[in-house]
Amino acid sequence: MPKLNVKQKNWLLSVHVASGSIWFGTALSMIAIAWKNTHTTNGDELYAINAALKLLDDFVIIPSANLSLLTGGLLCWLTIWGFFKHYWVIVKWIATVILISTGTVWLGPWLNAATSISDIERSQALSNPLYTFDIKGVLIGGAIQTSCVLAIIGISVLKPWGRRIVKAPEESTSSSS
């Protein structure tokens, strides 16, 4: 497969940086909104905040996280960076896949459940232990995820670990008689 030229690589890198930035900015905004949710006593406001969080998750976080993963994969495949040549690329891959997986397995379902509960119960959701667990999970898990995305951005900029040293297989020096 031919590698990208400089202009193509820069465009792809721009989309990659933009998608990661959108993911981070939206996640940070969701934490601020979720924090506001901890002080809400009005049932309609409680549901509206949860519905807004769900909207941001479904239509901004999920697409931007997946686009970041896709463009990162294309950058590895179509440039000299490769998938396994640099430790910082490996760490970013592992961290991104873990973040998307945990968001899919835990954070998304917790947010969906909290939104459903607040839709049905309104202000009584605040005394529902399942709602309390779910919304705390969204707030704490979201803060952890946002910190991890910020760390990934830092790794992208700093590239703290260098190139992997791959030892070439030793050639046997057997002589034929």
Task: Please name which of 28, 23, 30 lies closest in space to residue 55, comparing C-alpha atoms.
Answer: 30
Least confident among 77-81, 128-132, 148-152: 77-81
Structure tokens at 105: 């397995």
Residue 162 CA to residue 112 CA, distance in Å, equals 41
Amino acid, res. 8: Q
| Predicted pLDDT at 65 | 98
Helix axes 43-56, 108-121, angle to 10 degrees: 150
pLDDT category at 37 given cuts 50, 70, 90 is confident
Residue closest to 33 by CA, chosen among 127, 135, 120, 151: 135
Structure tokens at 131: 């709602």
Q: How far is CA 41 from CA 115, 125, 139, 164, in A?
A: 15, 10, 17, 54
Give the mean pLDDT of 77-86: 90
d(CA 23, CA 150): 10
Q: Identify the band that residue 175 occupies on the pLDDT scale cut at 50, 70 and 90.
A: low
Q: Can you give the pLDDT at residue 161? A: 82
Residue 10 has pLDDT above 60, yes or no: yes
113-130 confidence digits (pLDDT tens) = 999 999 999 999 999 999
